[in-house]
Structure 1
Amino acid sequence: MKRGSERGVVSERSVRRLYVCICGMTSVPFSFVRSVEFWSWFRMAVCVLPVVLVVMGVYVDYTHTADRCSILTVSNDSLLVEYGEPVKVNCSIPSEPSSVYKLGWESQILPVQTDSETSLVWTSPNLTEWEVNGREMFCYLSVPNTEQCKRKVHLTLYKRPDSVNISSESSVWSEGQMMKLKCEIENVGPLQNLTVQWTRVDQNNITTVTEMPYGSFSTSGEERKNGNVTSTLTVSASRDEDDVQYQCAALLRLDQLQQPQVGSSEPLNITVRYKPIITQPSKGIPNSVIKGNKLVLNCSAHGNPSPQYSWSSPGNKNLTTSSIIISSVQSEDQGQYSCTAYNDEGSDSMNVTVNVLEHPHTTNLSSESSMWSEGQMMKLKCEIKNTGPVQNLTVQWTRVDQNKNRTVTEMPYRRFSISEKQKGSMDVTSTLTVLASHDEDGVQYQCAALLKLEQLQQPQVGSSEPLNITVRYKPIITQPSKGIPNSVIKGNKLVLNCSAHGNPSPQYSWSSPGNKNLTTSSIIISSVQSEDQGQYSCTAYNDEGSDSMNVTVNVLEHPHTTKLSSESSVWSEGQMMKLKCEIKNTGPVQNLTVQWTRVDQNKNRTVTEMPYRRFSISEKQKGSMDVTSTLTVSASRDEDGVQYQCAALLKLEQLQQPQVGSSEPLNITVRYKPTITQPSSGTISLTQGDQLVLNCSAHGNPSPQYSWNSPGNKNLTISSIFISSVQSEDQGQYICTAYNDEGSDSLTVVVNVAVEYKLIIIIIAVCAVVGVVLIIGFWYYRHTQNKWRNLASHRNNDNIALSDDIAGQS
């Protein structure tokens, strides 16, 4: 009991302490605190209130810290300052914090600055401390009991060079030497960001840039500070370096420096002395010139100093000029010429061989005969007089046919005969053998002498007159074509033309059915009849021979009727149906094709052709006959509404329009069971209160009817279901059935209805608010009741005292 009573004392004492903390500022009596109702409401408040307070506290602390650090700003977080220039950075906050704070600047190389204002400026009138490079400074905001906020500022100091100079070991270079160029850069920094740029510009203004980064040149200071720099470039002295211009520059590679070049030297012009190299005339190429023409030999060379020239020519003639000019070259001027170019550095020589040529006096083309006969081998002879050198001679044969097509054949040295074998002028004969054929008739031949020398701009130095060829040959019939029958509809016009090529021009004769003979090139029958059918023969002839050609004429009749029919007027899906096309009085059947045309509801056209041997014939002969063609079709829904038609085609080259008979169109009707096209099977997810629309549609013939089976075994004979506000009891399977006399089709749709959680959250929130109001109302009610009880108690006590006083008095 003692231990239990102690527990009771402790419990009551704890409750009283809690009562003082919670209700000390109110007039709630302690008796209510000890009641069961109070503890029920208290437990609810204790469970909910800490969670709310913790969430609010974390949110407030997070947003407060983030907002506090975001207000700290600096005017520039990265500064590039030129040596000796002023610098200023402002650190600020928009307003003073509610508690004590300190705004300051902190750096490893500069004294700490602090202030309690909303803005603090770090400044330097002329920044010269190189120690700022590579170091960072911070602006900070300190508030007691909170994490310090910082803003980092990166500061870079740089200096342009006092001077940039370029120099060479020697003012004049000699070819083959290795020369050094030196670039001296004075007082520049920071050295670690320095690059020495060498620029070379040649005589053609082509620029070449070479960059040497830090570490590839000598320096006199620390890498983060300023100092002097010497960079060396080694160049091989060659003729390509003559008149080249060099320049060096100092580049500071700093992110914020828009123009990295901070200093540049004056250009340095290079002069290189080298011996001459002859560029003209070309080595080893002979120079040929026609006798009597002008000869010009130019000698030019590159060298420094500028070269002088001397020539040696045939007959030991020496000249001290760069050019030799002979106004009228003669045979004695032929031979070797030598040019020498020289200066103080050396010399170069070049030999040129000059060949003096003579024009051919004549170039004559002739044939064995003025008239050729087909099949002979004929020779054309081209005679070229007084030409050379023959090793450079080519005879060119040109053939031009009647259509102006040009064919060129060249015969080089060793393919023609020469009158004497020497390098001087001589006579040449070239022969071309030609097979005399009708293709050579009217052809024109020509020959020419070509001297292929580089010094001659035009290699042709002599050409013959054109020679026209005439070939006699027997006729060759070109029309009509061999073996192709000529078919014509009875009563139409028949025209047979016979034409042939031949020299002399051919004459013509015709033989026709009934042994009729005609001496004309054409046969014309204005209205052809059955007796005109048969074989016609054309003969073309001249003095060289003859040629014949046979033509078979078929007289055709139009088909009297072309009829299309079906086994049944209405088809059912799945049946194999036959369409029959009957063609009366047509032929010849070996040239007949039955064409089936199918046109669907979308006007898409499909054509199927059935050739001879795929249809039945009433009698087997080459005249007119009856034909029946059958097309088997699978009755499907795709055939419903389709239109079929058949036609008789006589495919003969002589008929411009092969179709000679066509049936009337036949419309097809197919009955088939429905196929549901809408809706798609699957699951529909809705939220309670949403609208539900289910439309059922199907294709079928006859047109289908519809029924719906919905949750709760509700059956509807409509095509659509509409529910304006769906509820949980509307959830489940909906089955649509489409049916007609041919069959039916069904489709299932599953509808899921979800509860709106936003509504639940709102209800919980409303209940929570109502609960708080009830607690306050209950507390107020009990508080008012206690007041009235106390007042009534005092009144009773007063009445008792008054009664005692009255009794005492009595």
Structure 2
Amino acid sequence: MCLTGSHAAECPLQLNPQRVVVRYGGSVSVTCNTSVPHDGMGWEASEGAMPMSKDNLITWRVSELTEWDIKPFCYLNPKNGDQCLSYLPVTVYNIRVCKSSSTETPDSVSISTVNPIGPMMEGNQYELQCDVLNVAPVQSLTVKWYKGQTLVNQTIFTDTIKTPVNETVTLMIRPDRSDDGVQYRCEAELELGEEGPRPPPKVTSKPLSVEVHYKPKHSNSTETINTSDEVTLNCTVKANPSPTYTWDSKLLKEKITSPVLPYSTLSPGNYTCIATNSQGGDSKVFIVKSTVSGDSCSLEISPSRVVVKFGDPVSVSCVASRPVRVLGWESVIAASHTQRDLSVQWQVDSLTDWIEEPICYGVFFTAPRQCEEKLNLVLYKKPDSVSISLVNHSSPVVVGREYQLQCEVHNVAPVQYLVLRWYRGQTEVYNHSFSELSPATPVQVSSILLIVPNRADDGAQYRCEAELKLGAEGPQPPPTVQSEVLSLAVQYPPDFRSPEEEIVEIREDSEMVLDCTAEGNPPPVYIWTSSNLQEKADQPVLTAASLGPGVYTCTASNILGKKSKQFVIKHKSKGESNKDAMEMLKFFPSNAEATVYTTHSVSVTV
């Protein structure tokens, strides 16, 4: 017997076209011709079979193809030589659509929320779920996740099953305030090769709009306003739910709940606005200074912002731009003053005071008699260590279950400048900032990453990295400390590389290998059962040289499950019928098999 593909030169048959892609229920027509003398040729197929003919060209034709797993072949009985076959790869596809105006949209595509819990909270982790129903062939499927118009993730499948299946794909997100109102959607696409339809068939879920609740957060904590007459203080800040406002100042004589102070004239001094909602609060200080001609505070600090490592020296100057009675620094340590110079230094050999807030003051001969400027000082300390671990669990983990990874940062300051980054391999998968915290002294903080491992995560390496982003005045690159690497071992049940039943036909005295190797973790154990076996077989591979015809069942199992596969051994002699050749299609190479696909619906849930 000779075959197409690697043996095509031995079989003088030509198919036109050599591969077809046809819509389910559509028509198909393929010719088979030869130029050699023969005793007959024909088409064998579950639909549209053509009886043997003496012609040199015959056509396989089906007006309405409804067989998913069809495997047609043309056969030839040459006058010289054995019968040979030429197999036609067929892709039958189907995707139902309904039309609205001129736009095609997939039928039965829905989006819903699982276990509704209301709006998402900023900084919490959530799982979006995309369900793809009745899709085939799944090995041609790609599921893509979009955030707005941006592709954020995609999943491909390698299963070789031919019949329609349901697939579920998840996406982990940790929304922030910029995600409020953003729309997620998932898209299922079947890439069926050059002969497939263009563009590739796809269905898209309806968008899932995300509502995020987040606390008020001002762009800066202080604002200085110089005024000579009228001024308005506007404390409006974006938050969800909308915040309420309160004002605090010894200069105010009544309670104010508006984001804007309704005063046309404000006295010089400090006014603190506090914005609050169910997620938290944030405050902002407005410093109102008089700018009456000749009354400005003529002090300048250089540099105006200083970033110092804990224990390092620091030196800052304060300069007066006009004659001064006294110029000095008010400070817990290294306080100083002068009565003669227009410049005074604040200098410390080793800064170790976390609450230090140096203030330069000047007493002038003319009004204003005294004024002061506060130094913007940041004292920082790198973390002592950064650690990563599984929460209430140890490796290995089980595929499909939910786990928490925890990263702990020990003894870091100031925490509001800290960014903690999560990595899977070399890819950053999430980052967590702590800008809502305000302690100046060293603290310990942690971050949680939620994962649902799959088979591809076996051996994946996770780590986290703590980075202090201290601004342009801080060290460059920013100080960082990394955790050790956490290698994830994932356990999963056995699965065969080729799960379908295999029919093995061999000639007498030939040898065939039955390979039952399965992938699983822990590695599976094997057991073979058959009425033909005289002794126990517990290896994944059997040699069929001494095995008689019959059914051989292999079962692979581990602690998570088991799976079985059947091998049917048949002895074949020269001259068997074309009916037997039809049976042989069940174990021919994949490029001789039909590929069927369909996608009925896609949905996204959270």
Same-fold status (TM-score > 0.5): no
TM-score category, normalised to shorter length: 0.3 to 0.5
TM-score normalised by the chain length of structure 2? 0.43
Q: Which has the higher contact order (CA 8 A, sep 6+)?
A: 2
- Pick the structure with greater CA Rg: 1
